[in-house]
């Protein structure tokens, strides 16, 4: 029972993306500036990284998909660390606190 509850958010997110794909997206037509399309990206991101992280990656992708944004091939990152490096963040395990005795 516990494993079904743990998988519920992921399945819900996938269901919402599929609902969008087969209802609204079919009416709007193919408008995505990236490959794979935003709904394909969302499905892959949620399946690979789960509902929370995959959903966040999908939201960021949709925010980039506008006339003044980029275009072209934009695959789902293999790891979340790769997503951090892509956006210029720090993806390695350490803190950014100043060591004791090194204050300026």
pLDDT digits 0-9 by tens, 59-70: 999 999 888 888
CA distances from 44 to 50, 64, 84, 95, 100 (A): 10, 17, 18, 31, 44
Mean pLDDT of the chain, nearest integer: 82
pLDDT digits 0-9 by tens, 22-40: 998 878 877 788 999 999 9
Q: What pLDDT does 86 receive?
A: 62
Q: Which of 57-66, 75-84, 85-94 has the lowest mean pLDDT?
A: 85-94
pTM to 2 decimal places: 0.74
pLDDT digits 0-9 by tens, 2-13: 887 888 999 999
């Amino acid at each position: 029972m516990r494993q079904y509850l743990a998988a519920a958010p992921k399945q819900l997110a996938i269901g919402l993306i599929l609902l969008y794909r087969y209802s609204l997206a079919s009416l709007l037509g193919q408008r995505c500036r990236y490959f794979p399309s935003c709904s394909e990206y969302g499905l892959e991101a949620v399946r690979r990284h789960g509902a929370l992280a995959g959903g966040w990656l999908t939201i960021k992708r949709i925010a980039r998909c506008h006339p003044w944004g980029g275009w072209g091939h934009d695959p789902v990152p293999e790891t979340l660390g790769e997503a951090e490096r892509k956006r210029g963040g720090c993806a390695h395990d350490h803190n950014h606190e100043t060591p004791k005795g090194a204050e300026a």
